Structure 1
Amino acid sequence: MRLPFLFVLCTVMIDAMGIGLVLPIMPELIVEVQGGSLANAAIWGGVLSTAFATMQFLFGPVLGNLSDAYGRRTVLLVSLFVMALDYVVMAIAGSIWLLLIGRIVGGITAATHSTAAAFMADVSKPHEKAANFGLLGAAFGVGFVLGPLLGGLLSEFGTRAPFWAAAGLSALGFIAGCLVMPETVTDKTRRAFNWRRANPAGSLKAIAALPGIRPMLWVYFLYSVSIYVYPAIWSYFTVERFGWSPQIIGFSLGIYGIGMAAVQGGLIRPATRYLGERVTIFAGMGFEIISFALLAFLTSGKIALMLIPITALGAVVTPALQAMMSRATPDSQQGELQGVLAALHALSMILSPLVMTSVFAQFARENAPVYLPGAPFLLALGLMLVGFVLFLRSRPAEV
């Protein structure tokens, strides 16, 4: 299973790289195809990002359910093939509407994290699940760091070069998958596809009905909304509070991405082995709570940089939560569970930036009743505390 394992990790990394690869050229590309000012391009950039995240929210459960019915191999290979074609279309797109369609299709094809996680659940022993889910998170983190870096380098060859690179990576992934990826869904675990359960609401209802799972889903969602305070306001907060340049902001985000990859790829295994999943989750949430409290009132940029590795320690929470819920879910619903988690994650990507940036704007404006650019971190702290209390009361039953 070593080669299929590596293929799935590489697929997740390609998904993450494809998202970040095109970020450096999007402002220039939108101005190129649409015209107008950079401010207008920023508006369209927000539309494209929201469309991408919305498709991930809607189609994470669909692909998860499809993988329960037709297999992980089929869903991953079809997604990679369509993804390669989609990047080719975006590479030659001459209008903003074609770019929008490309981002919509891209959001659908990149919603394979649920299928990749279901594969990990299929091939992992119960005590291995947290570590293997952590490797998925690490692969995503590596792709998230490498994507923008590679996109920035390729931008020297024009605004379309990153799309051609993303298309090539997806095509290589498809070819590799055809050669090494087996099917892990058997006739015993296969479950018929049902449209009523293949939408976020239907899948959520089915998974939440499992004993002890409902509060865990709330914990997962609250945690996701909380930690998205970082990408939502970090660039604005660090300029307002510390006067950072774009180079320092990029450097700090790179440190965070590398830290998350290291934590989820390496630390999660010994943490769950020696502490257990519950204590690991408590510790991870505790690190986040401390970080939020400090960042809310911090005025030193140097201390903020030193704090980043501590904030990255909170990344142990997601794989440990996934492992606990996976063990409480029947084998025939592993794809459905991971689809629900992918949908909740995507929903947090939609909601958190809207809420956190609004809070930042209210407390960072000139005539604010209380000047506190770190106010979004206090909101994130409150949400994390609610999740902490809910987790104290949750006890999912294993199947």
Structure 2
Amino acid sequence: MTDATAPAPKAKAPALAMLFLIVFINLVGFGLVVPLLPFFAQSLDAEPWQITVMFSAYSLGQFFAEPFWGRLSDRIGRKPVLLITLSANAVGYLALAFAPTIWLAIAIRLFTGLGAGNISTVQGYVADVTPPAERAGRMGMIGAAFGMGFIVGPGLGGILTQPQLGHVGYLLPIFVASALAALAAVGVVFFLRESRAKADPAAPRPAFLSGVHDARADPVVSRVLLVTLIYMAGFSAMESVFGLWAEDRYAWGAREVGLSFMIVGIVSALNQGVFTGKLAKRFGETRVLATGMLLFGSSLVLQVLAPAAWFPAVSLDLGLFTLPVVQGWIIPIVMALGACGMSMAMPNISAMISRATPPDRQGAMLGLNMAMGSIARIFGPLVAGALFSGLGHDWPFLIGALLTVPAAVIAINAGRQLRRGQTTAGVPAE
């Protein structure tokens, strides 16, 4: 357990603002690409199972990268790690645009995943400069940057995509994503200050996933990691087949899918930026996390139960332009409910880990948490592809909803262990 009686680290608002901007720019690029990936893959004559493999390849890279970059950022600092990973993102997106086959695209996504494992580094930076009691709120602000990236990214991707041009019509959003990642790297170089001193070069270097033993021994971290594994499996399953599901049920294309994810981003950003921190302070990180799990699961069930053809396509005249209200417009509303639940998860999970981990191990533990998420993102899409093709298009959503129930129970148990440890150490419980 961390010593909560130690002096709190000094919050550096300008650094946090710059980090918020960097995360936002980077996630705009990410949001540009993800919703159109199924359709980009189809332009390369990919089968549904190959599309889910492409999602899993990225996560496989992240699985190896997150613990490595998080551990390295503990040793050499957060800034150089952010610079390296953002540069790798820029190169990966650019290479993807020129991939001639689906298998080369899968290999490039694997490389991009290896270079994209910087979320734990960002969280480590926030933990470096934020007092423990304020970390859920600050993690929520960074989560809001993620959400805002998904507001602008998918919407912009939908506008830039020109599916009538075939494969070429999907390239411009990918080029823009590469440019934004490069811009974020430039921001790191010129505007972001280092948040921690470099470790002693003579100190022994921990092995890959060296924190697994410590995590398993910690009653809080072990449970929180399991929550991440379970709920991320459900989310990644939904994410990987949503485009195919919407195309089959509502004849949607990349534009409609992108706009749906944009709505998810709006809700996520508002919830994390405004409400998550306040809710955590009032009700406790544990209760908010468990509630978020159940909200997300409920949204998956409602998505399946939504009628397929009761809502005809119409157009809404806004004066300056006409907004098409397509068949299935109820789905983004249901997804917004799930976004409320999902946006409660990451900030509170990160805050609970940081409260239960010594400062010099936070990067490693947060990296291990992201690695657990990557494991879920590896197997979630693969299982979703098998369920989608073998049992039916709704089954990935139903299985994902079922998984959120044990995730909520485990989250509550983790909170009990955290309060017990704080009480033992003489620290007021949350």
**TM-score calculated relative to the size of structure 1:** 0.82
Counterpart of 2:334?
A: 307
Structure 1 unpaired stretches of 5+: 32-36, 365-372
Q: For structure 1, which segment, 336-345 or 64-73, has the greater mean C-alpha deviation from structure 2 after superposition?
A: 336-345
Matched, 1:276 2:284: yes
1:53 aligns with 2:52: no
Aligned to 1:393: 413
Alignment match, 2:302: 294
Q: Residue 218 of structure 2: SS of its match in structure 1? A: coil
1:73 counterpart = 2:79: yes
Which position in structure 2 is the counterpart of 1:345? 373
Pick from 99, 104, 122 the counterpart of residue 116 of structure 1: 122
The answer to whether the aligner puts 1:146 opposite 2:152 as a matched pair is: yes
Return the match for 1:174 from 157, 160, 185.
185
Aligned match of 1:107? 113
Q: Within 5 A, what are the aligned runs for 1:1-399?
A: 1-22=12-33, 38-40=44-46, 46-89=52-95, 102-154=108-160, 160-186=171-197, 192=203, 194-196=205-207, 198-199=208-209, 202-240=210-248, 242-246=249-253, 247-299=255-307, 301=328, 303-314=330-341, 315-364=343-392, 373-394=393-414, 395-396=417-418, 397-398=421-422
Aligned mates of 1:228, 1:93 — CA distance in 2: 24
In 2: Cα distance, 1:345 partner to 1:289 partner = 17
Give the root-mean-square deviation of aligned CA atoms.
3.3
- Is this contact kept in 2: 1:27–1:38, CA < 8 A? no
More deviation in 136-145 or 149-158?
149-158
Alpha-carbon distance change, 230 to 105 in structure 1, aligned in 2, over 3 angstroms = closer
Q: Distance in 1 between matches of 2:385 and 2:151?
A: 23
> Structure 1's 99 and 239: CA in aligned 2 closer, same or farther, altered over 3 A?
closer
Comparing 70-79 and 153-162, the one that deviates more: 153-162
- Equivalent pair of 2:354/2:362 in contact (CA under 8 Å): yes
The answer to whether the Cα contact below 8 Å between 1:233 and 1:356 also exists between their aligned partners in 2 is yes
Question: Bigger shift: 59-68 or 119-128?
Answer: 119-128
Cα deviation 1:313-367 (Å, max 9, x = unaligned): 2121221122112100100111001111111112211211222332333443xxx
Question: What is the distance in 2 between the residues matched to 1:87 and 1:375?
Answer: 31
* Paired residue type of 2:302: L
**Deviation (angstroms), 1:268:** 0.4
Aligned length: 382
Structure 2 residue runs of 5 or longer lacking an equivalent are 1-11, 163-167, 311-327, 426-430
Partner letter of residue 67 of structure 1? Answer: S
Letter in 2 for 1:125: P
Partner of 2:317: none
**Alpha-carbon distance between aligned partners in 1 of 2:293 and 2:91, rounded to the nearest angstrom:** 40
- Matched to 1:56, the amino acid is Q
Structure 1 counterpart SS, 2:357: coil
The 1:67–1:154 alpha-carbon spacing in structure 2 relative to 1, beyond 3 Å, is: same
CA distance in 2, matches of 1:252, 1:17: 15
Deviation per residue, 1:122-169 (Å, 9 max, x gap): 111112111121222222222234334334544569665445433432
Change beyond 3 A, Cα 1:361–1:84:
closer
Q: Residue 192 and residue 5 in structure 1: after superposition, are their counterparts in 2 closer, same or farther (change >3 A)?
A: farther
8 Å CA contact 2:157, 2:258 repeated in 1: no
Q: Which amino acid aligns with 1:59?
A: A
Q: Which range is displaced more, 173-182 or 294-303?
A: 294-303
Deviation sequence 1:196-247 (CA, Å, 0-9, x none)? 2x33xx333332323432122112211212233431333344455x535335
Query: Mean alpha-carbon deviation: is it higher for 86-95 or for 258-267?
Result: 86-95
Counterpart-to-counterpart distance in 2, 1:230 and 1:140: 18
**In the TM superposition, what is the alpha-carbon distance from 1:255 to its structure 2 partner?**
1.6
CA spacing shift, 1:210–1:188, aligned 2, 3 Å: farther
* C-alpha contact (below 8 Å) 1:123/1:184 kept by paired residues: yes
* Range that drifts further, 53-62 or 10-19: 10-19
